[in-house]
Amino acid sequence: MKAQMKQANKLGARYALILGDDEIAEGVVMLRSMSDSQQEKVALAEVIGKIKA
């Protein structure tokens, strides 16, 4: 996953979504802010609204 985060940073992504088996089971994604490396669990239905905010 470290390589994917480096690639996202290189591309200038503002956010990265992390989706694994645990997140799928919970119905969430991990939303990671690339600017400050903070991440939080966000419900799948709320991801777009959270990114726009």
What CATH number does residue 8 fall under? Answer: 3.40.50.800
What is the total count of domains within the chain? 1
Q: For 6-40, how does the pLDDT look when each residue is reduced to its tens digit (9 = 90+)?
A: 999 999 999 999 999 999 999 999 999 999 999 99
Question: Is the pLDDT assigned to residue 53 strictly greater than 90?
Answer: no
Question: Is the pLDDT assigned to residue 46 strictly greater than 90?
Answer: yes
Q: For residue 15, with 0-12 CB atoms within 10 Å meaning exposed, 13-18 middle and 19 or more buried, which class applies?
A: middle
Strand pairing partners for 30? 18, 41
